[in-house]
Amino acid sequence: MARGGSKTGRGEKAESDVVRLQYRTPWMIFTPTFIFFFLLNYLAWFTTVNEDGTDLVASPYVAAIQAERARNLWKQEWSFDMQVFLEDTVLRSLFRVSQHFGGMEGVRIIWCLAWLAHCLEVGIAFRICLSCGATPAVFAAYCLFTALGGVTQLLPLIEARDKYISLLPTPTAKKNK
């Protein structure tokens, strides 16, 4: 017998239980989606393009590190620097790819469309959480992670909503009581 004297098994809903929207973790593709979205934001607004529009201008920090490494070329005892790797390798490669989409203008258009999609997804998450009576923690988690990862968190939310709806008593069951 379950606690409280109800005769329900594990995973079933007792009649006195309150149905709540449960949190479901995002899909595994969430992390790469978040990283790509971060890189898109960084490339669109925190980098500078040279006058020709063909390459990125190194930030003062990266330029100083590159100059130091050039002076000590034969020494080659460099420690890994994440900002140099990010700006000089990753973002420069993404910028070269962006040349096929219209350069920096294309990147900013894609950035704008991505933010519009994320705002739409956050609106959907907000509406689902509000209509399902999610607890504040679940509400905040779904909205935050949907803003960061988009559809990779929104689809688990829709699955949780479907499960929530399936646990609700049907109107005919209420009439029979």
Is 126 inside a domain boundary?
Answer: yes
Residues in the chain, total: 177
Helices (H) and strands (E) in the chain, counts: 8, 2
Q: What is the pLDDT of residues 22-32, one digit of tens each?
A: 999 999 999 99
Is 13 inside a domain boundary?
Answer: no
The residues near 14 (Cβ < 8 Å, ≥ 6 apart) are 2, 4, 6, 8
Is 175 inside a domain boundary?
Answer: no
Q: What's the predicted TM-score (pTM) here?
A: 0.75
Q: Produce one character per residue of 35-63: b if its CB has 16 or more CB atoms within 10 Å, e if not.
A: eebeebeebbeebeeeeeeeebebbeebe
Full domain range(s) for residue 114: 25-166
Indicate the average pLDDT of the chain: 86
Q: What is the DSSP letter of 53?
A: S
Q: What is the pLDDT of residues 80-104, one digit of tens each?
A: 889 899 998 999 999 999 999 888 9
Q: What's the total number of domains in the chain? A: 1
Q: Name the more confident of 6 and 23.
A: 23
Is 105 inside a domain boundary?
Answer: yes
